[in-house]
Amino acid sequence: MDKELQPIGSETRAPASQRSRTAELLKHAKALGKEIDVSIDGNSVTVPLGTTILEAARELRIHIPTLCFHEDLCLAGVCRICMVEIEGQRTLQSACSYPITAPIRVSTHTAKVRRARRHVLDLLLASHHGECYICTRNGHCELQALAAEYGVDLFRFGRADRPRYAIDASSHAVVRDMNKCILCRRCVRTCIDLQEVGVLEALHRGQHTKVGTFMDKPLADVVCINCGQCINRCPTGALRANDLTDEVWEAIDDPAKHVVIQTAPSPRAGIGECFGLEPGRPLTFQMNTALRRCGFDRVFDTNFAADLTIIEEGVELLLRLQRAIVERDPAAVLPQFTSCSPGWVKYLEHFFPDYLPHLSTAKSPQQMFGALIKTYYARTNRLDPKNIVTVALMPCSAKKFECNRPEMCASGFKDIDYGLTTRELAKMIREAGIDLPKLEKSDFDNPFGTATGSGVIFGATGGVMEAALRTVLELVTGQKIENFFAHADIVPLRGFEGARYAEVPITKVGPVPALVRHLFPDWNWLRGATLKVGVCHGTANAKRVMEDIRDGGRFSHCHFIEFMACPGGCLGGGGQPTPTSPAIRAARAKAIYSEDHAYSVRKSHENPAILRVYEQFLAAGPCGHESHELLHTAYTRRGKYIA
């Protein structure tokens, strides 16, 4: 099949106008192609003009400590912990931001360098308030690790004896404790450059400098989208997720409560990192065993609800297309945007509110599952929904915000009671004395234990669109997706480019399947049409796609676009294990796609458990009355969600 592709941007690059001038100069220098010889600790290496000392040292596998540096972010050079000595130069230089433009001899661990780094650490610790023992990052803090590495065993310049700032716990997703901030500005660069939201900024000057929000307002009162990317890149405990694991334990310990948990695909591909495993090793079925040992009454697969989302969202797309093509309704709203990323939804609400009608009305898999558990599951198991506690294991801090949105109570109760991040569940498992990687495997519980490969790939950027195309193309053409794409792998939608565009011509149509016969008499109106789709991840890239749509560019002609708030999609979510990097996210994606191939059923519309729910409960079928009541949202004229 012919496909037209247009990669735009890169995984983490923000527009040049908002990136550091140094980074642009380094990029330009490297493009010249000139090679420079450099010696680091007596080891020689040849590098392109403009390579930084840190990059050259890493080629030689020489360790230089860093704090403000992060692979996802533009250069800053503000923490000075990476200082090195260059022969012939009087002062030390920061390795992360020093470009190599001529042959130099560098020493990374002389007495002068070690002394300077230790002084930097002493100064950071002097203004860093908080006890390591009760910090969420204890044992996993970059500042703590450097203090141990450099033998800091006392506070040489004293320490902050009391907090200077109040803790901001106003957000359902992110908690800020600026008393632990070391002013590395990673969070600032993440929010401004990586995500282009711009909530955080360095305020004031000199000793009064602090990282804060507009007018120093609480996070809940500014345009924070709750994505948690700042948490993933903070080297200390200054930023953390709003942890409610104590409330989850309390529910588990209450014999009157029936506590169920659903697990999304991305945490399975990442949680092993919390237990010392290399990125990319999934622990799906070991995690099921651990959750039962922790005390959860049922363990369900969010992939089931992802399949349900694909059916509802895919049929909604076909209905919008029918309105546009058959009815020629000028009010038909296209392109349709995916709605399963709550960070993206909040970004759209803040920055492009006029485009809210483009959002699919389908809820996210997390929220669909919660609505079903407190209705269908409660009824079939003769449980009182008020005694059911629903917990969602997600890779995303924004899911904590999503489950607390006032409209997410279609069941008559709060559909999802608690959202847990991957890091928080790892903490619970360790607290229960469980060694996760060594556990035996066990399956998910029924009636939601059956899922497909399409549900699994939701965790990677492009996965929602790939899952949707597997279903929509088979429903419309009557042919197997394997006739279009080998092994059902829609490779053109995969990868980490900032945005992708693809065209899929529909040359023939088939009979209308029973699942959607109540909505469509035939598919003749789609014969000869070309389905145009887009994929985008990270809100900096989303901004460019939205501007392209506004300006009438290529993406304005799409019919369906997948947006994910986080770099790499859910596998790079704000609740995933730290550290994060492009290589780590790629390893997690590989794990997700390998799980997809392990499923015998890989298409959402072939999931027998989904078809059973439509037969037994959602009797009017996809996008019918019952499903709209439970599984969809609507809008008021002001563009706000309502139930």
Per-residue pLDDT tens over the stretch 311-364: 999 999 999 999 999 999 988 999 999 999 999 999 999 999 999 999 999 999
Identify the active-site residue in 316, 424, 474, 562. 316
Instruction: Classify domain 245-302+366-431 by CATH number.
Output: 3.40.50.1780
Q: What is the pLDDT of residues 51-72, one digit of tens each?
A: 999 999 999 999 999 999 999 9
User: Catalytic residue among 85, 313, 424, 595, which?
Assistant: 313
Instruction: Render pLDDT for 259-295 as a digit per residue (tens, 0 to 9).
Output: 999 999 999 999 999 999 999 999 999 999 999 999 9
Residue 12 has pLDDT above 50, yes or no: no
Q: Is the pTM of this model over 0.75?
A: yes
Q: What single DSSP character describes residue 334?
A: -
pLDDT at 25 over 80: no
* Percent above pLDDT 90 for the chain: 90
Domain with CATH 3.40.50.1780 in the chain: 245-302+366-431
Write down the pLDDT at residue 32: 73
Spatial separation of the C-alpha atoms in residues 43 and 320, rounded to whole Å: 63
Predicted local distance difference test score (pLDDT) of residue 637: 33
CATH number of 32-120: 3.10.20.740
The rounded radius of gyration (Å) of the Cα atoms in the chain is 26
Q: Which of 374, 399, 543, 603 is catalytic?
A: 399
Q: Please tell me the predicted confidence (pLDDT) of residue 341.
A: 98
Q: Which region among 463-472, 583-592, 597-606, 631-640 has the lowest average model confidence (pLDDT)?
A: 631-640
Q: Give helix then strand counts, H and E, for the chain.
A: 21, 19
SS3 350: helix
Query: Could you report the per-residue pLDDT of 206-221, keeping only the tens digit for each?
Result: 989 999 999 999 999 9
| Mean residue pLDDT across the chain | 93
Q: Is 59 known to be catalytic?
A: no
The one catalytic residue among 55, 59, 201, 407: 407
**186, pLDDT greater than 60:** yes
Per-residue model confidence (pLDDT) at position 130: 86
Looking at residue 26, its pLDDT comes to 65
Catalytic annotation present for 581: no
* CA atoms of 42 and 285, how far apart (whole Å): 49
Strand 298-301 and strand 258-263: pairing? parallel
Task: Answer left, alpha or beta for residue 329, where phi above 0 means left and psi between -120 and 50 means alpha.
Answer: beta
Catalytic status, residue 570: yes
Instruction: Please indicate whether residue 402 is annotated as part of the active site.
Output: yes
Cα(524)–Cα(508) distance, integer angstroms: 9
Q: Among the options 273, 570, 603, 627, which is catalytic?
A: 570
**Could you say which of 184, 191, 227, 340 is catalytic?**
340
pLDDT at 639 over 50: no
CA dist list (Å): 494 to 7, 432, 453, 537, 549: 11, 38, 15, 11, 22
What CATH fold (topology level) applies to the domain 159-241? Alpha-Beta Plaits (3.30.70)
CATH for 305-363+450-642?
A: 3.40.950.10
CATH 3.30.70.20 segments of the chain: 159-241
What per-residue confidence (pLDDT) applies to 18?
A: 41
What distances in angstroms separate CA 234 from CA 186, 219, 267, 327, one per listed residue? Answer: 6, 16, 20, 52
Q: Is 642 a residue whose pLDDT tops 60?
A: no
166: Cα within 13 Å, side-chain hemisphere: 7
Within 390-445, residue ranges assigned H as helices are: 398-402, 422-431
To the query of whether residue 313 is one of the catalytic residues in this protein, the response is yes
Q: Which of 312, 402, 474, 595 is catalytic?
A: 402
The pLDDT, as a whole number, for residue 575 is 98
DSSP-derived secondary structure for 474-534: HHHH-S-GGGTSGGG--GGG-S--SEEEEEEE-----PPPGGGTTT-S-SGGGTT-EEEEE
**Residue 628 CA to chain centroid, in angstroms?**
27
Residue of 341, 360, 411, 604 marked catalytic: 360
Instruction: pLDDT band for 23, please (50, 70, 90 cuts).
Output: low
Residue 399 annotated to the active site: yes
pLDDT at residue 20 in the model: 53
More confident residue, 123 or 3: 123
Measured distance between the N- and C-terminal CA atoms of the chain, rounded to whole angstroms: 41
Catalytic status, residue 407: yes
Verify whether residue 340 is a known catalytic residue.
yes
CATH 3.10.20.740 in the chain: give the residue spans. Answer: 32-120
